[in-house]
């Protein structure tokens, strides 16, 4: 299973990246993830489920230790090449989409 994580840390500082934001980005960039995109207002990364979950754990722990007062994140399951209709764990979908 592949996952995408999107996250931000607060408080914001538009003049200079706060330490917690730098730490969070370092965690994600050092993780075994691909499609990493960091920016001033949000960050995303994709990878295998185990790698994303491990990165989220480290992200939460280290950014909170570095002064974050809030971490907003969203994790989504995304399709990969092995998620076709013949994949062993693919749910059956009725003709009406349910």
pTM: 0.76
Cβ(52)–Cβ(74) below 8 Å: no
Helix then strand then coil, in percent of the chain rounded to 5, is 30, 30, 40
Find the helix or strand (DSSP H, E) in which 12 lies. Answer: none
Please tell me the distance from the alpha carbon of residue 46 to that of residue 54, in angstroms, as a whole number. 12
Percentage, residues of the chain above pLDDT 70: 82
Which of 9-13, 63-67, 76-80, 93-97 bottoms out in mean pLDDT, i.e. has the lowest? 93-97
pLDDT score of 39: 79
pLDDT score of 27: 94
From the list 58, 81, 82, 49, the residue with the least C-alpha distance to 7 is 58
């Amino acid at each position: 299973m592949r996952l995408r994580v999107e996250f931000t840390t607060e408080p914001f500082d538009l003049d200079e990246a706060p330490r917690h934001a730098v730490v969070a980005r370092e965690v994600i960039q050092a993780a075994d993830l691909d499609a990493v995109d960091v920016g001033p207002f949000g960050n995303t990364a994709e990878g295998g489920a185990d790698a994303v979950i491990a990165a989220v754990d480290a992200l939460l722990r280290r950014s909170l230790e570095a002064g974050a007062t809030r971490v907003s994140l969203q994790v989504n399951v995304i399709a990969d090449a092995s998620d076709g209709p013949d994949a062993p764990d693919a749910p059956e979908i009725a003709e009406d989409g349910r």
